[in-house]
Chains A and B, each alone.
Chain A
Amino acid sequence: MTPAISMRNVGKTYKKSGRLAVPVLNGLNLEVQERQFLALMGPSGSGKTTILNLMGGIDRPDSGEVIVCGHHLERLTSNRLGIWRSNNVGFVFQSYHLLPVLSAAANIELPLLLTNLSRSQRLAHVKAALEIVALSDRASHKPSELSGGQQQRVAIARAIVTDPKLLVCDEPTGDLDRSTAEEILLLLRALNEKYSKTIVMVTHDQKAADYATRQLHLDKGELMERATEVT
């Protein structure tokens, strides 16, 4: 079976101004199958966010191949990458990154503006996404009028509204309390099991990682498989 994500011999180095280059990834190999829910863990600076950014097409490798949903991302131009992202990936961030001037519904509608859908079609998609995240009654609220958990639900709705195959989540429960974090993690699991989304989640929280179907630990550029317990 063709993996959803394939990273082959990937290298990535970061240069800070005036300092030496720091290699973050060196010959990394990783495959993620379709409909897998992968948790990437590791200490700070280990490169897990870098891997996420490469998979999501918002960063480029210095060497190697990154093949996601059948596309060689390292070969795409910036413009093509943008189009690819709009069709294939949804992003969920630790700080939600909602646009404060737009309502929840308008935030969710944002990725659909890149499509050719009519307004009524866009609204139908938004309604469906709100129902999935159970926030239909908060459609007209601005982010400042929502709790942290609700904002993250809106962010997830925005990530899935174009029905992408892949969701990349960077510490999605980092700013949430325990019970709210659990709600979000249950939602992600539902998206994986019920809606067949491939999910890659970076987290430092073992309890969050336990919601995934697969865990990888990254340290000093080395990936190690961890046994998973389904909760």
Chain B
Amino acid sequence: MKYWRFVWANLWRKPIRTIFLFISVVFGFTLWGLLLGFDANLRRIADSANAARIYSFPRFGGKLVLAQMQPISRMHFVSKVGALGAILGYYQQPRNRVAVFMQGPGMLEVFQDLPLTSQQWAALANSGAGVFVSRLYAMRYGLKAGSNFPVICPDLPRADGSDVWTFHVLGVVPDIPLMPVGFATGNYDYLDRARREGDRGQVQQFWVLAVDAAHTDEVTREIDKWFSSSDFPTRSVSEKSLLASAGGGGTDALNAFVSLAFAGIVMVVIVTTNALRHSIRERTTELAVMKAMGFSNYKITAHVLAEAAIPCLLGCFVGLVISAALTAMMPRILPAAVVFPMPTIDLQVVGSGIAAALLVALLAGAWPALRIARLDVAAALARQ
């Protein structure tokens, strides 16, 4: 601590340069926070998967029907089945795609991670056109409890011929990793009553719980085999493999995020190294005097590394704060049509940022350390 004033004074030797260095570091770590935050969220999504849950979709873009629930529930190793309807349309403009998931029979047992209390489930069941929306949806579309939420769905006209489904927001609930871009959820019974007679009884997906994770693959195959030659063939996939591919698994997306984050840190290393190099060059005589006074190579190098570490650590802190703020604001400031999982600035991202900041300081200090160790005191003083 007794060297703190000395280190701080040297940092502000050229205030403008220090500020530019700091700004550069902040940008580098803002990028770090955002990209590793994306990475963290995608991994969180993949990790949150329920290994025993399966989704069954229409195989060729057609439909499924409620009557299929019974044979599925009787299959080996099936614990529970739920039916989900969906209104896939848009809000205000066609580019603002929205999906309102309509909870049908059995979904309360199969989708226990939906963040609704039992009172909210009951309200949903009794509310008709009522929906609960997640915070991301609320921020993106400016919704709150009591708002109207009209969704236009040309593919799913109502019985009265209109393609506008006007929902009433009952409340805003937390987001869940399973639906990283947010969600709106309503009542399947209302959907079924309100749509055309010929479309009644149709289902968007079945959610199936296997007795345990070990039997998921078997159940998946059995469901598809059972309905393969029916009028409503299915394509089933486990939640785990669906989230893994949605989160970039099996693609190069995750590697790209981390590579880009490192590119930002390389930038910081370049700028910090250059700053330190110039600073040491300009202070050669001062360093020689310090050595003459008795300061060891180790002590002088430690000072220099501290001069690198302080802007790196402070810049890391500010950069991560900015990335956290951007993350919170993104759903509000991005166009509603732009939808992707938001970054998560968790402890791992912060920890890795601090580690990266220290590594940058070490890398930037390597050349000065060598220069200090090799400094010929007499020769440096003779050049005065």
Contacts and interface: CB of A to CB of B under 8 A. Distances in A.
A95 B291 CA distance: 16
Contacts of B382: 49
Nearest to A142: B9
Contacts of B6: 102, 106, 110, 113
Nearest to B10: A101
A227 to B, nearest CB: 31
Contacts of B291: 58, 82
Interface stretch (A86-94, A185-193, A216-224): A86-94
A182 interface: no
Interface in B1-52: 2-3, 5-6, 9-10, 12-13
Interface residues of B, number: 25
B285 interface: yes
Contacts of A110: 6, 290, 293
Contacts of B290: 110
B300 to A, nearest CB: 10
A106 B381 CA distance: 21
Contact of A113 (B3, B13, B297, B378): B3
A114 B292 CA distance: 12
Contacts of B286: 97, 99
Given A101-B9, A106-B6, A82 B378 contact: no
B294 interface: yes
Interface in A70-107: 78-79, 82-87, 91, 93-95, 97, 99-102, 106
A101 B12 contact: yes
Contacts of B10: 101
B230 interface: no
Given A58-B377, A99-B286, A114 B293 contact: yes
Contacts of A93: 289, 381, 384
A173 to B, nearest CB: 15
Nearest to A85: B294
A111 B290 CA distance: 8
Nearest to A87: B294
B14 to A, nearest CB: 10
Interface string A183-227: 000000000000000000000000000000000000000000000
Interface in B265-320: 285-286, 289-297, 299
A21 to B, nearest CB: 15
Nearest to B296: A82
Given A49-B382, A79-B296, A111-B293, A101 B2 contact: no
Contacts of A106: 5-6, 9
Interface residues of A, number: 30
A224 B189 CA distance: 115
Contacts of A97: 285-286, 289, 381, 384
B214 to A, nearest CB: 64
Contacts of B13: 100-101
A163 interface: no
Contacts of B296: 79, 82-83
A119 interface: yes
B9 A85 contact: no
Where chain B touches its partner, the secondary structure class is helix
Contact of B292 (A50, A91, A99, A102): A91
B39 to A, nearest CB: 41
B9 A83 contact: no
A22 B183 CA distance: 83
A101 B291 CA distance: 18
Given A101-B9, A102-B9, A106-B6, A82 B384 contact: no
Contacts of B297: 78
Nearest to B283: A99
A53 B295 contact: no
A111 B294 contact: yes
B9 A114 contact: no
Contacts of B378: 50, 53, 58-59
A56 interface: yes
A196 to B, nearest CB: 21
A6 B120 CA distance: 94
Most chain B beta-carbon contacts within 10 A, residue among A78, A97, A110: A97
A66 B177 CA distance: 74
Contacts of A85: 292-294
A168 to B, nearest CB: 9
Given A94-B384, A97-B286, A106-B9, A58 B292 contact: yes
Nearest to A90: B293
A100 B6 CA distance: 11
B301 to A, nearest CB: 13
Nearest to B299: A114
Contacts of B299: 114
A101 B12 CA distance: 8
A219 B9 CA distance: 44
Nearest to A170: B381
List 3 tightest A-B contacts by C-beta distance, closest first.
Answer: A86-B294, A101-B9, A59-B378
Interface of A: 49-50, 53, 56, 58-59, 78-79, 82-87, 91, 93-95, 97, 99-102, 106, 110-111, 113-114, 119, 170
14 contacts: A58-B377, A82-B295, A86-B295, A95-B285, A95-B384, A97-B285, A99-B289, A101-B12, A102-B6, A106-B5, A106-B6, A111-B293, A113-B6, A170-B381
Interface of B: 2-3, 5-6, 9-10, 12-13, 285-286, 289-297, 299, 377-378, 381-382, 384
